[in-house]
């Protein structure tokens, strides 16, 4: 599936419509989204950390060591499928990381241009000798699970059965852009297999909530899209560089307590949170075009949906 590009939209939204602000922003930068050195470094760090924690994530992934056998087994229905939902998928960073370990990938993004980038990326790889691509080519569609009114935007909720019953769903560095993160999280969890589906967030911590005694050692890195403050106490007024950025609803990141409550309230159990081994650098650009380099601490958080 392919969409036309939207790079020539003249002006960003004037109203405080976070979804439209993000759609405009990511349509504008889609073609250059992962071209900067800090972005490529973060993607590499994210990839390394995820692959070193596959067992910890808790999904019954297929083994790439037997992928040709897995392909034949899939054709004869003797292998358990692993269906993956990549939400706020961007150009497909998480899909590419997990591709050897899954049997199907579906991306959803608010940005038409990001969806086009995703579909072009995996269409170009369709001739590659990767069994997973032969199994079911990844594809992405436009959607927004943060939108509060399903009646006025039914397509955003993608009611076809193909968009339900996923074994694994994840958001990679996108949650800090969501205008209604609890609603979006609950809707994503509702798309999981009710008997063991796993939900994962990759994002960054609110450094103000972390102990300064044992921060991860520094390593430059960076990557995909892809925040909120503690649920226990309000944050101080946001006056720093990140507060003036387009479309960032949680500019300081998340506390561990907030993430735990977010996943618990969405109905997940067996919740685990793991910080990245190393810090990474991000270039923040605000509305005035000013750029600031900052060191951040990333994390993975997972929870499992179980039948009640």
Is there a domain that residue 236 lies in? yes
pLDDT value at 272 more than 50: yes
Is there a domain that residue 61 lies in? yes
Give the range among 55-69, 239-253, 293-307 with minimum mean pLDDT. 239-253
Instruction: Give the model confidence (pLDDT) of 220-233 as tens digits.
Output: 333 333 333 333 33
Pairwise CA distance, residues 259 & 265, whole Å: 10
Is there a domain that residue 11 lies in? no
Angle value at C-alpha 102, between 80 and 281, nearest 5 degrees:
150
Is there a domain that residue 7 lies in? no
How far, rounded to the nearest angstrom, does the alpha carbon of residue 218 sit from its chain's CA centroid?
A: 23
Please tell me the total count of domains within the chain. 1
CATH of residue 77's domain is: 3.40.50.150
Backbone dihedral region for residue 88 (phi beyond 0: left; psi -120 to 50: alpha; all else: beta) = left
Mean pLDDT of 294-299: 89
Instruction: Give the model confidence (pLDDT) of 48-94 as tens digits.
Output: 999 999 999 999 999 876 555 555 555 555 678 999 999 999 999 99
Is there a domain that residue 132 lies in? yes
Per the prediction, the chain carries an average pLDDT of: 77
pLDDT of 141 reads: 94
Which domain does 236 fall in, by range? 18-305
Is there a domain that residue 12 lies in? no
pLDDT of 107 reads: 97
pLDDT higher for 249 or 62?
62
């Amino acid at each position: 599936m392919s969409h036309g590009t939207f790079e020539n939209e003249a002006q960003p939204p004037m109203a405080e419509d976070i979804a439209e602000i993000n759609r405009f922003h990511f349509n504008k930068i889609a073609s250059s989204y992962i071209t900067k050195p800090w972005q490529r470094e973060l993607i590499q760090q994210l990839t390394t950390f995820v692959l070193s924690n596959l067992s910890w994530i808790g999904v019954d992934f297929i083994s790439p060591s037997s992928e040709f056998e897995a392909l034949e087994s899939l054709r004869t229905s003797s292998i358990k499928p692993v269906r993956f939902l990549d939400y706020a998928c961007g150009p497909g960073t998480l899909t590419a990381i997990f591709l050897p370990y899954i049997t199907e990938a579906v991306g959803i993004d608010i940005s038409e241009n990001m969806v086009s980038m995703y579909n072009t990326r995996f269409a170009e790889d369709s001739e590659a000798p990767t069994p997973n691509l032969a199994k079911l080519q990844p594809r992405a569609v436009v959607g927004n699970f943060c939108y509060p009114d399903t009646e006025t935007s039914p397509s955003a909720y993608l009611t076809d059965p193909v968009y339900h019953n996923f074994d694994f769903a994840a958001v990679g560095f996108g949650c800090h852009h969501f205008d209604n993160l609890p609603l979006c999280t609950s809707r994503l969890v509702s798309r999981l297999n009710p008997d063991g589906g796993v939900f994962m967030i990759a994002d960054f911590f609110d450094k103000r909530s972390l102990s300064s005694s044992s921060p991860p050692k520094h390593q430059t890195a960076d990557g995909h899209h892809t925040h909120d403050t503690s649920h226990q106490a309000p944050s101080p007024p946001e006056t720093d560089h990140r507060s003036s950025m387009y479309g960032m609803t949680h500019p300081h990141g998340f506390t561990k307590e907030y993430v735990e409550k977010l996943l618990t309230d969405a109905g997940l159990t067996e919740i685990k949170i793991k910080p990245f081994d190393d810090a990474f650098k991000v270039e923040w650009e605000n509305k005035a075009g000013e750029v600031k380099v900052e060191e951040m601490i990333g994390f993975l958080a997972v929870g499992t949906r179980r039948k009640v």
